[in-house]
Each structure stands twice: as structure tokens, then as C-alpha cells.
């Protein structure tokens, strides 16, 4: 305990001073990665401060990435650069793949659709029609909530006129939607809940808001409800971020029962749900119905976010949000503070594309083509990798999340070994904020790979893991 001794001053809050001291100990390696920090009461007594001071100190360390909490076990140190260094390297490698468009690699990381399925001909026709019809107006007029006719068409085509168009906000992609929703409901030191693991972009938003992030594990049909409510009983949660269909990275989809229970808890404990409806257009199992939180929401609790980038044209950066009643002014303000307005021309073109029925036809083509890849990869994983990995079938989407059976093999090291063979996977640790998360898991996306590359890639993965075990 001696290393925790230092002199407190009267100028700044004690919890900040203690947190800074512990950060220095972690950075100087006086506290090792994964080392358990002293229990709250013990450290409070040792430093002659109250328990709340240490609680706030540990929350600050967690929010800044210097500590993580294990339920029932305590708080543990995390040296940020260990995790961040790898994430930065991984990001650099993936950007290199995208920018240079290597033809000799097998990319199991890409989440966007193959350019083979971009509806260029139809979209070009729609763009020309919009320019002929609207002229300069298509480029000049901006509306904060988004192009009115697009909001109306979205409401008609996808929601059977369920909502008021004033509750629909056009976005420059799902990431902006998460950011805007967070600005509306999350302040400094507020508590938010996320799935474990979860989308790194959402974690970045909440960290930027300087929120305290709580995690709850995700199962086959949604989060662990019992643990979720235990956290709610002990902490005032502002919002819960969820990917309701084909969760990234696990591929899990929420059951109706789980969604209804979470909505019930939202009413009971007074929190909002930010629903990221990720890839629900790509359902391959006829027994899986599309019924998002927003459809079931009776208590005005759900911010629903949908992106067109993943399943349409990534370059147009369009999506939309349906927000709860009463948030119009704050939504407009948050949107203006972000980018004022989204491309008017692209909005008008998308509106016509949806209204003319092109979008529905495009989705049917995608489902047919990607279902082939899905079935092929699923069968190859079962046939070739079942001795080495555990797999739960996602029933849709663009990827599989696999768990290594051999605990001596890490997904991070597997990434490096496959990289040497020009095969790229996404290690599970990319999706966790804890330093020990996802070490035994990895994700394989099939959106950027044809059938031949899927076969070759799976065979090489088997070969690499098999050699590792010998």
C-alpha cells in the first residue's frame, strides 16, 4: 500500500488528485496491467478520505480507460497504451487495405457491401431525374430535420405511417445518430449501459461525453436481464445502447421477450434506449421476425437509429433517427452543432429511389446473394473449424463471431499470424473496453470476399491454428 502514499492539496478535488496519482503509477509500471486496485474502504481508510471519494476516483479511472471493473471482484488497473497500441495498429492495417485495394489479400474485416452490388445504374438514373426535376433547388435548400419528402417516404415505406414526420431526423450515418442522441440525454459523469462486447464507435461517443460506462454481457437472445437489473438497482442509468439485430460483433438478435422486459425496466428505472438497428434487412432465417424496440415501445423511451450506408451506398452517408416525443428542439440543436444539415441532393435522390421501389428490389438482390455466402461460410466453419472454435449461428447479417477452444491461443496473435499470410480477421479485443476482453474470440465478415476467397481463407485459418497446437 505504500506506493499509494502521496500528499493531498486543498486546491483541487481529492478524487481527481488520487486518480491522477494512480494513473502515474500505472503509466510508470509501478502498478501492473491487470493488477487489482485496493478495495474502496481499505484505500479510503489508508488515505484518510471517505468512501465516496474513492468511488468517484475509480469511476474517473474507468471513464478514462485506466481501470476496469469486474462484477463481484473489484477494480483492476489497465495501462492504456497496451490496448490502444494494438487498436491503432489494427486500424492502420485496415485503412491500408481499403486505400490500396489489394487484390491478393483475403479481407474478413470489411463490413460494407461489395461494390459488385452497388446499384450504380439505377441510382444514376434517379440522380439525373432529381436534377432535371428540381434544378439548383436540389443543391441549395437545406432543412435541419432533413428533406421533408424523404422523412414522409421513410415513414410510409418502412413504418406504415406509424410516426409523425416531425419525429424523424435525417442523419449523416448511424455514428452521427449515436452522437446526437448522446448529446440530448448524457452529461458529464452520467451513467450509461452498453452491451459487452459492443461497437467501438458507441464507446468513443460515451467516453467523449465523459460518461461512466457500465457493461452487461450479451447472450444468444439479448443481454443478461438479471445482471442488467442488478446494475439498475444500484446505479442511476441515463441510457442503454443496444444493437437489436445481428449485434456487432456477436451476431446475436434480441428476442421479443427480452425487448419487452428491457422496455419495462426503462419505465421502472427511468432510462432511454438508443437502438442501433444495424443490419436487419439481411435476415436469412424465416423464423426471425423484424420487430425492433421502437415498434414495441409504449412509453416513449426509444431513440431508433438506422443507417443506409451498410446496405445501400456507403459513400452517400445517410441514415435516420426516430426520436421520442418531446425531443424535437434538442434534436435540431444537436444536429446543427454537428453539421447543420445533410446533403440535400443525396436526400432527394434516396427519397425517389425508395418511392420508386428500387430500394426494395435492391435489398432482395442483396439477401439472395449474401445468403449464399452466409450458408457457405457457416458450412465451412462447421466442417473445417469445429475442432478449434465454437460458433453460434447469427441467422442473418454479414459476419460470424467465433470463440477459440484452446485458451493458449489468443485472437491477437492469430491476427498477426494470419496477416503474414495476407488474411485479415478482426480480433475480439477491438470490441471491448477491458484489457482482458475478447482475447479468445474473433469476427469473420464475408461481405468483401467471394466464394473462392472464403474457401481459401477458412482452410488457411485451420492450417494456422492446427500448426499452433502441435
**Band of residue 39 on the pLDDT scale cut at 50, 70, 90:** very high
φ and ψ of 258, to 5 deg: -65, -40
> Domain limits at 235?
120-357
φ and ψ of 370, to 5 deg: -75, -25
Cβ atoms of residues 51 and 57 within 8 Å: no
C-alpha of 358 from chain center: 28
How large is the average pLDDT for residues 59-79? 83
Q: Are residues 173 and 72 in the same domain?
A: no
Question: Tens digit of pLDDT for each residue in 409-461?
Answer: 888 889 989 988 999 999 988 888 665 678 899 999 998 888 999 999 999 99
Angle between helices 358-385 and 451-469 in degrees, nearest 10: 30
Is residue 37 in a domain? yes
Establish how many alpha carbons lie within 13 A of residue 264's alpha carbon, considering only the half-sphere containing its beta carbon. Answer: 9
**Band of residue 83 on the pLDDT scale cut at 50, 70, 90:** low
Question: Tens digit of pLDDT for each residue in 205-233?
Answer: 998 888 888 889 999 999 999 999 999 99
Q: Are residues 188 and 329 in the same domain?
A: yes
Q: How far apart are the first and last CA of the chain?
A: 44
Cβ atoms of residues 226 and 245 within 8 Å: no
Cβ atoms of residues 77 and 66 within 8 Å: yes
φ and ψ of 275, to 5 deg: -100, 120
Tell how many helices (H) and how many strands (E) occur in the chain. 17, 16
Q: Cα dihedral angle (418, 422, 383, 432), rounded to 10 degrees?
A: 50
Q: Are residues 346 and 375 in the same domain?
A: no
Please give the Cα distance from 86 to 42 (Å, whole number). Answer: 34
Please state, in angstroms and as integers, the Cα–Cα distance from residue 377 to each residue in 69, 265, 285, 438, 467, following that order.
Answer: 36, 38, 15, 22, 22
The beta-strand segments (E) located in 220-292 are 222-223, 237-242, 272-276
Please give the Cα distance from 350 to 343 (Å, whole number). Answer: 11
Q: Are residues 233 and 270 in the same domain?
A: yes
Question: Tens digit of pLDDT for each residue in 135-163?
Answer: 888 877 677 788 999 999 999 999 999 99
Q: Are residues 254 and 144 in the same domain?
A: yes
Please state, in angstroms and as integers, the Cα–Cα distance from residue 129 to each residue in 120, 126, 345, 354, 362, following that order.
Answer: 14, 5, 11, 14, 19
Lowest mean pLDDT among 124-133, 376-385, 430-439: 430-439
Q: Are residues 211 and 305 in the same domain?
A: yes
Q: Considering Cα of 400, then 401, then 404, then 410, what sign does the dihedral take?
A: positive
Cβ atoms of residues 399 and 249 within 8 Å: yes
Q: Considering Cα of 145, then 149, then 155, then 157, what sign does the dihedral take?
A: negative
Q: Are residues 89 and 217 in the same domain?
A: no
Of 327, 357, 387, the residue that ends a domain is 357
* Nearest one of 29, 30, 6 to 18, comparing CA atoms: 6
Which residues, including other chains, have CB under 8 Å from residue 107's CB and lie 6 or more apart? 97, 424, 445, 448, 449
pLDDT at 309: 80
Is residue 115 in a domain? no
Is residue 113 in a domain? no
* CATH assignment of the domain containing 10: 1.10.10.10
Is residue 405 in a domain? yes
DSSP letters for 31-96: S-TTPBPPPHHHHHHHHT--HHHHHHHHHHHHHTTSEEEETTTEEEE--HHHHHHHHHHHHHHHHH
Helix (H) or strand (E) segment spanning residue 415: helix 411-419
* CATH assignment of the domain containing 312: 3.40.640.10
Q: Are residues 257 and 332 in the same domain?
A: yes
Of 357, 388, 422, the residue that ends a domain is 357
Cβ atoms of residues 377 and 446 within 8 Å: yes
Please give the Cα distance from 394 to 234 (Å, whole number). Answer: 33
How many domains does the chain fold into?
3
pTM of the predicted structure, to 2 decimals: 0.81
Is residue 260 in a domain? yes
Q: Are residues 260 and 406 in the same domain?
A: no
φ and ψ of 52, to 5 deg: -60, -35
Is residue 210 in a domain? yes
Is residue 114 in a domain? no
Q: Are residues 347 and 408 in the same domain?
A: no
- 391 - beta bridge partners? 402
Question: Tens digit of pLDDT for each residue in 162-179?
Answer: 998 889 999 988 899 999
Cβ atoms of residues 315 and 278 within 8 Å: no
Of 332, 357, 382, the residue that ends a domain is 357
**Band of residue 90 on the pLDDT scale cut at 50, 70, 90:** confident
Q: Are residues 280 and 336 in the same domain?
A: yes
3-state SS assignment for residue 237: strand
Q: Are residues 212 and 322 in the same domain?
A: yes
Q: Cα dihedral angle (178, 181, 185, 190), rounded to 10 degrees?
A: 10
Does the pLDDT of residue 4 top 70, yes or no?
A: yes
- Which residue intervals of 141-238 are DSSP H helices? 148-159, 174-185, 200-208, 225-234
* CATH assignment of the domain containing 426: 3.90.1150.10
Question: Tens digit of pLDDT for each residue in 48-58?
Answer: 999 999 999 99
Is residue 441 in a domain? yes
For 404-410, the CB contacts below 8 A with 24+ separation are 404/440, 404/441, 404/442, 404/465, 406/465, 406/468, 406/469, 407/440, 409/440, 409/465, 409/468, 409/469, 410/439, 410/440
Amino acid at each position: 500500500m505504500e506506493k499509494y502514499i502521496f500528499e493531498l492539496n486543498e486546491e483541487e478535488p481529492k478524487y481527481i488528485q488520487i486518480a491522477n496519482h494512480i494513473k502515474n503509477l500505472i503509466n510508470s509500471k509501478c502498478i501492473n496491467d491487470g493488477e487489482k486496485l485496493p478495495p474502496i474502504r481499505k484505500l479510503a481508510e489508508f488515505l484518510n478520505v471517505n468512501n465516496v471519494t474513492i468511488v468517484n476516483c475509480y469511476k474517473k479511472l474507468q471513464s478514462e480507460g485506466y481501470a476496469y471493473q469486474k462484477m463481484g471482484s473489484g477494480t483492476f488497473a489497465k495501462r492504456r497504451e497496451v490496448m490502444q497500441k494494438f487498436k491503432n495498429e489494427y486500424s492502420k492495417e485496415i485503412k491500408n487495405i481499403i486505400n490500396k485495394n489489394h487484390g491478393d489479400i483475403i479481407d474478413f474485416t470489411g463490413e460494407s457491401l461489395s461494390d459488385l452490388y452497388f446499384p450504380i445504374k439505377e441510382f444514376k438514373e434517379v440522380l439525373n431525374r432529381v436534377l432535371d426535376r428540381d434544378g439548383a433547388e436540389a443543391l441549395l435548400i437545406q432543412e435541419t430535420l432533413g428533406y421533408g419528402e424523404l422523412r414522409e417516404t421513410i415513414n410510409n415505406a418502412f413504418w406504415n405511417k406509424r410516426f409523425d414526420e416531425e419525429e424523424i431526423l435525417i442523419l449523416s450515418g448511424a455514428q452521427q445518430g449515436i452522437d446526437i442522441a448522446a448529446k440530448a440525454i448524457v452529461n458529464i459523469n452520467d451513467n450509461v449501459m452498453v452491451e459487452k462486447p459492443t461497437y467501438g464507435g458507441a464507446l468513443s461517443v460515451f467516453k467523449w461525453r465523459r460518461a461512466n460506462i457500465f457493461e452487461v454481457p450479451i447472450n444468444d437472445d439479448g443481454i443478461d436481464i438479471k445482471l442488467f437489473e442488478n446494475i439498475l438497482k444500484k446505479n442511476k442509468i441515463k441510457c442503454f445502447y443496444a444493437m437489436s439485430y445481428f449485434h456487432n460483433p456477436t451476431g446475436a438478435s434480441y428476442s421479443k421477450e427480452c425487448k419487452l422486459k428491457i422496455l419495462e425496466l426503462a419505465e421502472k428505472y427511468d432510462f432511454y434506449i438508443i437502438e442501433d438497428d444495424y443490419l436487419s434487412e439481411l435476415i436469412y432465417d424465416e423464423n426471425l421476425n423484424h420487430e425492433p424496440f421502437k415498434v414495441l415501445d409504449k412509453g416513449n423511451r426509444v431513440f431508433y437509429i438506422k443507417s443506409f450506408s451498410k446496405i445501400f451506398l456507403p459513400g452517400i452517408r445517410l441514415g435516420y433517427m426516430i426520436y421520442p416525443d418531446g425531443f424535437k428542439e434538442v434534436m435540431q440543436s444537436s444536429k446543427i452543432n454537428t453539421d447543420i444539415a445533410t446533403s440535400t441532393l443525396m436526400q432527394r435522390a434516396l427519397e425517389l429511389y425508395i418511392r420508386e421501389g428500387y430500394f426494395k428490389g435492391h435489398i432482395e438482390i442483396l439477401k439472395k446473394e449474401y445468403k449464399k455466402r452466409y450458408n457457405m461460410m457457416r458450412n465451412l466453419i462447421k466442417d473445417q473449424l469445429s475442432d478449434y472454435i465454437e460458433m453460434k449461428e447469427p441467422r442473418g447479417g454479414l459476419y460470424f463471431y467465433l470463440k477459440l477452444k484452446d485458451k493458449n491461443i489468443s485472437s491477437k496473435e492469430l491476427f498477426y499470424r494470419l496477416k503474414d499470410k495476407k488474411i485479415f480477421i478482426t480480433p475480439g479485443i477491438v470490441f471491448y473496453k477491458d484489457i482482458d476482453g475478447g482475447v479468445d474470440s474473433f469476427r469473420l465478415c464475408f461481405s468483401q470476399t467471394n466464394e473462392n476467397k472464403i474457401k481459401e481463407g477458412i482452410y488457411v485459418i485451420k492450417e494456422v491454428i492446427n500448426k499452433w497446437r502441435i
